[in-house]
Amino acid sequence: MSTLTSVSGFPRIGQNRELKKIIEGYWKGANDLAAVKATAAELRAKHWKLQQAAGIDLIPSNDFSYYDQMLDTAILLNVIPKRYERLAFENQEDTLFAMARGYQGEKGDVTALPMKKWFTTNYHYLVPEVEPGEEIKLNSTTPFDEFNEAKALGILTKPVLIGPYTFLKLARTDQATELEYDKGLVNAVAAVYAEVLTKFNELGAEWLQLDEPYLVLDKEPGDVELFKTLYTKILAAKAGVKVLLNTYFGHIADVYETVNLLGFDGIGLDLNEGREENLEAVAKYGVASNTTIFAGVVNGRNIWRNNYATSLGLVDALKQVTDNVAVSTASSLLHVPFSTEGETGIPAEDLKHFAFAVEKLGELKEVAVLTDATEDEKKASEALAANQALFDGTRVAADPAVAARVNGLTADDYVRQPAREERQKLQREALGLPLLPTTTIGSFPQTKEVRAERAKLRKGEITKEAYDAFIKAQIDACIKHQEEIGLDVLVHGEFERNDMVEYFGQNLNGFLFTKNAWVQSYGTRCVKPPIVWGDVSRAKPITVEWSAYAQSRTNHVMKGMLTGPVTILNWSWPREDITHEEQTKQLALAIRDEVLDLEAAGIKVIQIDEAALREKLPLRKSDWHVKYLDWAVPAFRLVHSAVKPTTQIHTHMCYSEFNDIIRDIDAMDADVISFEASRGDLVVLDAIHDAHFETEAGPGVYDIHSPRIPSEKEIEDRIYEILDKMDVNKVWINPDCGLKTRGNAETWPSLEHLVAAAKAVRAKL
C-alpha cells in the first residue's frame, strides 16, 4: 500500500481573503448572511478540490471557521455564556460574532470573550468561558454538515476537531481561572466527543482527527489522568471510524508511552518542532501494532521549501520502529499563506525557495511518493534532484559588514546606564508629566482614505510629495485631536505605515515582500509577514522624519514609534539557514541606529514595540531561557542601551501573560511598558505586585479589539483595580493596543472617556 498523505488543516480565509471581505461586509450591513454562507461554501469546495487534485488522501473538513475553531468548539459543546444567549439572536452566526467581537446595539451591550495567542503562533483564539452549572451537550451540526457537504462533492474528508483535553485546558471559568476538572464536567465533555464519533461513524467517515496541541506542554499534576479519562471514554465509543490523535508545535515525549497504550489508530507527531524528542520516544516505547504514526514532516509554520532528504530521513527513522507510517503536515497549514502563485514581485529564481499552503500539498505528495520509491527510482527522480539542488547551492552571500558589527559587540553594549531608579527621577523632571500619564500605543485608525492614498502611491497615481503632504495632514489632525481631548504623551498616529513589521522591513536591507501572502491573525484580521532573505542592516533612517515633523507640531511630548527586533523576526518569515538569535542581533543593531537618530532629532520618548516577544516563548519551561529569553531579552537591551538617561524608553506587548517571566520583562530594562490586559485576567497585576515589578507600566484599560465604546465609569473602575496592585507613581493609562484597526467613530469617544477617567482618579488622589 502506498504511503498515506494527511493534511492537518488548510487556510480558510481564501486565496484573496474572500472570507474576510464577505464577513466584514456582513458586519457593515453591505451583504446578508446568505452571501456569507455562499462564499464560505465556495471556499470550502475550492480548498477540498485543490487537496484532492494534489493527491492528498486525508483531506480535512471542519477546519473551516467563520472566526475561530476554538470558538466553534465552545459552541459545539454548548459552552455559551448566558449574556450572549440573552441577546436572543435568530441566527447562530450572530451569537458567534457577538462572542467573538462583543455586541453593542438594540439587543444589549456585552463585551467579547477574551482572546489569546494560539500556542507560539500569531493566531489568536477565543477563550471559552464555562459558567457554573453549564449544560455541556452537543449543540451544533456544523462538523457533520461540512462532512456531508464534501461527501456530496465526492470527497470523503477527515473531520477535524479540537480535542477535549486541549479544550478543557484552554477554557476558563467565568472568573477567568482554570477549570476544575470534576467528574461531571469531564464526563459531559467526553460524552459529547463520543457522540460526535458515533455520528461520524454513521455518516461513513473513515478517519476523525482530534487535535491535542496542549499535549506538547509541560504536564501539571492530574493532566495525564485527565487525558486518559477523557480518551478511555471516547475511544470506547469507537466503532468503524479511526481516530487520529494529532499533536503539533512540539513533542509529546513525556506522555508518548501513555498515548501509545490507549489504542489510537493514528498518532500525529510534529517532526519539525518536536523532532528529536518525538523520535526518541517512538524508538524507546515502540508503536502499538494497530497504530499508524503520522509523521509531521512538512512545516506548517514557515514558508521555505521542504528538504526532501531530511523528510525521507525522518520517515526512515520511524520505519526502523514500525511499518505504519503516514506523512503529514507538521501542523495545520492555517499559519502559512495560500499560494506562491501570483507573487510576480519576487524573481522566479528566489520564489522557487518557497512553498505556501498549496505548494506544500505538492511537497507532501512528493515526499510520500519518494518514501515508497526504490533506491533506483529515487536516483531517477527529478523532483528529488531539483530539491537537492535547491539546498546544495548558496542562496545568499553573507554581508561582511553585518558580520563584523555583530562580532564586535561587547558585554557593555547590552547594558544601559545609569540604573533604572536614577533614570526614573531624571526623566520625571525632564518630561514634566502628571501622575497617571495618559497615552496611546501608537497607531490611530487607518481609514479607507489613508489606505486609498497608499494604494494610489503604489500604483503611481500620485507623487511621493502629494502622498507625504497627505500623511502630514493626517498627523496634524491627529495631534490636534489628541491635544483637544487632553492626552499627555502624544503619538503621530503611524499613518505612513501599512504594518508595524512590513514597514520596517521595507526600509531594511535583507528583506523580501509578497503581494498576497496573507495569514489569519484573528477573526477576519490577516497579516502579511515579510521574508528575511539575507543579512539585515538599516538602509537609511526610517521614522525620523515623521517623528521630528510631528514633534515640531506640538508642545506636548511626542513619542517615537519603533518595532523591536524580536517582534520583527517573530512576525516575519525567518531564515532557516542561520539561527533566530543571529537574525535578531542583526535586527537589533539596525533598530539601534534608528533609536539614536530619533534621539538626536529631539524625540524624548521612544517606544520600541515588542508585541510578539511572549508569543515565541517556548512551550516547555525548561526551554524558556536557554532556547529563547537568554538572547531575546539582551537583544532588546542592545537596541536602547546607548540613549541618554533622560530619554524615556517604552515598550509595548500584545498580551498580559508574563506573570511567569516578569523578571525577564524587567530585565529588558525599558522605562515603561504598556500591555494588553483588559480582555484577559488580572493575574498579571498580582504578579506585578508580588514581584515588585520595577518597570513603570500601563496595563490596557480598555479592549481595542472590540468596536464597543467603554464608559468613563468602566475605565475608572479599571484604574482603581490597577491602583490596588500598583504604585501610583508607576502607572500609565492607555488602551491595550494600537488603534489602527478601529474606526474614528469609536476611537475618539473611547479616548475621551479614558482621559476623563484618568483625570477623575487623579483628582481624588
Residues in 685-714 at the binding interface with ligand GLN, rule: CB under 6 A = none
Q: What are phi and psi of 423, to 5 degrees?
A: -60, -40
Q: DSSP assignment of 536-599, as one string?
A: EEE-S-SSHHHHHHHHHT-SSEEEEEEE-HHHHHHTSB--SSS-HHHHHHHHHHHHHHHHHHHH
Which option in ligand GLN, Zn ion, none does residue 360 bind, with CB closer than 5 to 8 A by kind?
none
Q: What are phi and psi of 603, to 5 degrees?
A: -85, 125
Query: Binding to ligand GLN by residue 128, rule CB under 6 A?
Result: no
Shortest separation between residue 674's beta carbon and Zn ion, angstroms: 8
Would you say 611 and 568 are in contact if contact means Cβ atoms under 8 Å apart? no
Residues in 551-580 at the binding interface with ligand GLN, rule: CB under 6 A = 561
CA distance 62 to 140: 12
Select from 737, 739, 751, 761 the one that contacts Zn ion (CB under 5 A). Answer: 737
State the cell numbers at 501.
513589521
Q: Please tell me whether 13 is known to bind a ligand.
A: no
**Residue 367 or residue 754: which is nearer to ligand GLN going by CB?**
754
Task: Annotate each residue in 592-631 with x if it binds Zn ion (CB under 5 A) or - if it does not, as one string.
Answer: -------------------x--------------------
Shortest separation between residue 674's beta carbon and ligand GLN, angstroms: 9
Span of 133-141, 365-373, 440-448, 503-511 interacting with ligand GLN by CB under 6 A: 440-448
Q: Please tell me whether 748 is known to bind a ligand.
A: no
Query: Binding to ligand GLN by residue 115, rule CB under 6 A?
Result: no
Task: Annotate each residue in 636-665 with x if it binds Zn ion (CB under 5 A) or - if it does not, as one string.
Answer: ------------------x-----------
Which option in Zn ion, ligand GLN, none does residue 442 bind, with CB closer than 5 to 8 A by kind?
ligand GLN
Residues in 468-507 at the binding interface with ligand GLN, rule: CB under 6 A = 494, 500
**Residue 330 or residue 611: which is nearer to ligand GLN going by CB?**
611
Sign of CA dihedral 331, 335, 341, 347: negative
Span of 619-627, 694-702, 734-742, 743-751 interacting with Zn ion by CB under 5 A: 734-742
Is 705 one of the annotated active-site residues of the chain? yes
State the cell numbers at 724.
490596588
Q: Please tell me whether 654 is known to bind a ligand.
A: yes
Q: Please tell me whether 652 is known to bind a ligand.
A: yes
**Residue 163 or residue 565: which is nearer to ligand GLN going by CB?**
565
Select from 162, 508, 737, 758 the one that contacts ligand GLN (CB under 6 A). Answer: 737
Q: Please tell me whether 319 is known to bind a ligand.
A: no
Residues in 611-650 at the binding interface with ligand GLN, rule: CB under 6 A = 611
Residue nearest to ligand GLN (CB): 738
Number of residues that bind Zn ion (CB under 5 A): 3
CA distance 11 to 315: 25
State the cell numbers at 417.
546606564
Select from 738, 750, 755, 757 the one that contacts ligand GLN (CB under 6 A). Answer: 738
Select from 72, 359, 609, 712 the one that contacts ligand GLN (CB under 6 A). Answer: 609
Task: Annotate each residue in 441-460 with x if it binds ligand GLN (CB under 6 A) or - if it does not, as one string.
Answer: xxx-----------------
Number of residues that bind ligand GLN (CB under 6 A): 13
Q: Please tell me whether 442 is known to bind a ligand.
A: yes
Q: Please tell me whether 456 is known to bind a ligand.
A: no
Which option in Zn ion, ligand GLN, none does residue 740 bind, with CB closer than 5 to 8 A by kind?
ligand GLN
Q: What residue type is 409 in one-letter code?
A: L
Helix (H) or strand (E) holding 205: none
Query: Binding to ligand GLN by residue 654, rule CB under 6 A?
Result: yes
Span of 428-436, 509-517, 660-668, 733-741 interacting with ligand GLN by CB under 6 A: 733-741
Select from 116, 242, 740, 753 the one that contacts ligand GLN (CB under 6 A). Answer: 740
Shortest separation between residue 696's beta carbon and Zn ion, angstroms: 17
Long-range pairs of 389-392 with CB within 8 A, sequence gap ≥ 24: 390/305, 390/352, 390/353, 391/305, 391/307, 391/309
**Residue 60 or residue 707: which is nearer to ligand GLN going by CB?**
707
Which option in ligand GLN, Zn ion, none does residue 751 bind, with CB closer than 5 to 8 A by kind?
none
Q: What are phi and psi of 255, to 5 degrees?
A: -125, 5
DSSP state of 163: -
HEC profile of 645-708:
CCCEEEEEECCCCCHHHHHHHHHCCCCEEEECCCCCCCHHHHHHHHCCCCCEEEECCCCCCCCC
Shortest separation between residue 654's beta carbon and ligand GLN, angstroms: 5
The strand pairing partners of 327, in sequence order, are: 5, 295
Q: Please tell me whether 46 is known to bind a ligand.
A: no
Shortest separation between residue 440's beta carbon and ligand GLN, angstroms: 7
Would you say 605 and 650 are in contact if contact means Cβ atoms under 8 Å apart? yes
Would you say 739 and 755 are in contact if contact means Cβ atoms under 8 Å apart? no
Q: Which of the residues 492, 580, 705, 753 is marked catalytic?
A: 705
Burial tier of 701 (Cβ tally within 10 Å: 0-12, 13-18, 19+): buried
Listed in sequence order, the DSSP H helices in 286-335 are 308-319
Which option in ligand GLN, Zn ion, none does residue 159 bind, with CB closer than 5 to 8 A by kind?
none
Full strand arrangement of the beta sheet holding 207-211: 5-6, 325-329, 292-298, 266-270, 242-246, 207-211, 158-162, 60-61
CA distance 526 to 537: 27
- What Cα–Cα distance (Å) separates residue 98 from each residue in 80, 126, 345? 11, 12, 39
Shortest separation between residue 702's beta carbon and Zn ion, angstroms: 13
CA distance 698 to 716: 14
How many degrees, rounded to 5, is the angle at CA 21 between CA 141 and CA 740?
Answer: 115
CA distance 602 to 547: 9
Span of 221-229, 254-262, 642-650, 735-743 interacting with Zn ion by CB under 5 A: 735-743
**Residue 172 or residue 652: which is nearer to ligand GLN going by CB?**
652
Distance of CA 705 to the CA centre of its chain: 14
DSSP state of 511: E
Q: Please tell me whether 553 is known to bind a ligand.
A: no
Helix (H) or strand (E) holding 760: helix 744-764
Task: Annotate each residue in 684-713 with x if it binds Zn ion (CB under 5 A) or - if it does not, as one string.
Answer: ------------------------------
CA distance 190 to 183: 10
Q: Please tell me whether 478 is known to bind a ligand.
A: no
Which option in Zn ion, ligand GLN, none does residue 500 bind, with CB closer than 5 to 8 A by kind?
ligand GLN
DSSP state of 626: I
How many degrees, rounded to 5, is the angle at CA 185 between CA 183 and CA 186?
Answer: 65
Nearest to 120 by CA among 272, 231, 9: 272
Shortest separation between residue 151's beta carbon and Zn ion, angstroms: 42
CA distance 590 to 507: 10
Tally Cβ neighbours within 10 Å of residue 759: 17
Span of 177-185, 656-664, 684-692, 736-744 interacting with ligand GLN by CB under 6 A: 736-744
Which residues have a catalytic role annotated? 705
Q: State the binding site for L-homocysteine.
A: 441-443, 494, 609
Which segments are annotated as binding site for L-methionine?
A: 441-443, 494, 609
Instruction: Write out the binding residues for 5-methyltetrahydropteroyltri-L-glutamate.
Output: 17-20, 117, 525-526, 571, 615
Chain residues binding Zn ion by CB under 5 A are 611, 654, 737
Binding residues: 17-20, 117, 441-443, 494, 525-526, 571, 609, 615, 652, 654, 676, 737
Binding-site residues for Zn(2+) sit at 652, 654, 676, 737
Question: Interface residues with ligand GLN (CB under 6 A)?
Answer: 441-443, 494, 500, 561, 609, 611, 652, 654, 737-738, 740
